[in-house]
């Protein structure tokens, strides 16, 4: 692109002329168009005693929402693991799992950012793609899939073998529960940022088996408000992922 072409584009968009002149100093001078956007992920999120979270670990050209969600989850994921390390109760590989889990999620968001960038590019081919994508957004399952991707809750951490329960490694689903003190949402039971055992068995048998762990795990006996439930008991990490 030449300066004259740039000036003509500005005039067409703004309806006004802006003073443009070649840069001072020795050349050569060129006008370049950068493609790909500012979407980047750090090669590693941990180097010994240094940890990267939030925008220090990943940036996305598609807007601040996805990056904000990821940054908050980075902090929660690292926070409880650091606490366990300081307390002396963490296994040797726990802090390393921060890098493994959160870089997996960050790279997932790269797909989202690059897809958004592709949909905003000019050209008739992209216009056709946007029209098709608009049709897909008419399906609730598509909207839910994209919402989970944007929120960063569609990732399953590698925490168990292939025959594990489908919820293991996933963000816990919120639900309304009947407890001895009244009805409560699962999200309200996780505010202590401690591991949580939710026992939904008829005889509270799971809570009885783990009673000796009450100093390390919050134990709640409750029944789901809806008869259909996803499990008879859930053990949640402090970041609300199902262990």
One domain for residues 7 and 45: no
Please check whether residue 163 lies inside any domain of the structure. no
Q: How confident is the model at residue 214 (pLDDT cuts 50, 70, 90)?
A: confident
Residue 129 sits in a domain whose CATH number is 3.50.50.60
Q: Which two tokens stand for residue 140?
A: 């609730």
One domain for residues 66 and 44: yes
CA distance 88 to 224: 35
Total domains in the fold of the chain: 3
DSSP states of 66-108: HHHHHHHHHHHHHHHHHHHHHHT---TTHHHHHHHHHHHHHHH
pLDDT in tens, 23-77: 888 877 776 665 556 788 999 999 999 999 999 999 887 666 778 888 999 999 9
Of 135, 151, 167, which one is at a domain's C-terminal end? 151
38-42, 79-83, 129-133: lowest mean pLDDT where? Answer: 38-42
Please check whether residue 162 lies inside any domain of the structure. no
Dihedral angle computed from the Cα positions of residues 93, 94, 98 and 99, in that order, rounded to the nearest 10 degrees: 0
Of 134, 151, 168, which one is at a domain's C-terminal end? 151
- Domain of 26 in residue numbering reads as 1-33
- For position 24, what pLDDT does the model report? 85
224 pLDDT exceeds 90?
no
One domain for residues 59 and 134: yes
Please check whether residue 9 lies inside any domain of the structure. yes
One domain for residues 44 and 139: yes
CA dist 58 to 34, 99, 103, 114, Å?
A: 19, 12, 9, 14
Please check whether residue 167 lies inside any domain of the structure. no
Please check whether residue 69 lies inside any domain of the structure. yes
228 pLDDT exceeds 70?
no
Query: What is the pLDDT averaged over residues 102-126?
Result: 87
């Amino acid at each position: 692109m030449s300066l004259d072409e740039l000036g003509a584009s500005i005039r067409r968009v703004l309806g006004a002329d802006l003073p443009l002149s070649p840069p001072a100093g020795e050349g050569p001078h060129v006008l370049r168009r950068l493609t790909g956007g500012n979407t980047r992920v750090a090669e590693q999120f941990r180097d010994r005693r240094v940890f990267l979270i939030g925008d220090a670990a990943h940036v996305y050209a598609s807007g601040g929402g996805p990056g904000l969600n990821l940054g908050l989850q980075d902090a929660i994921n690292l926070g409880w693991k650091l606490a366990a390390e300081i307390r002396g109760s963490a296994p040797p590989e726990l802090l390393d799992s921060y890098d493994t889990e959160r870089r997996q999620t960050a790279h997932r968001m790269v797909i989202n950012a690059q897809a958004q960038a592709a949909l905003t590019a000019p050209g008739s081919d992209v216009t056709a793609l946007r029209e098709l994508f608009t049709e897909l957004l008419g399906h609730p399952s598509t909207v839910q899939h994209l919402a989970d991707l944007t929120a960063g809750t569609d990732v399953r951490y590698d925490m168990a073998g292939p025959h594990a329960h489908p919820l293991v490694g996933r963000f816990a689903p919120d639900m309304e529960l009947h407890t001895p003190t009244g009805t409560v949402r699962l999200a309200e039971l996780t505010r202590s940022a401690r591991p949580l055992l939710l026992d939904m068995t008829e005889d509270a048998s799971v809570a009885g088996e783990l009673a000796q762990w009450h100093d390390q795990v919050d134990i709640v006996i409750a029944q789901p408000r809806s008869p259909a439930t996803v499990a008879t008991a859930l053990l949640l990490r402090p970041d609300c992922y199902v262990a």
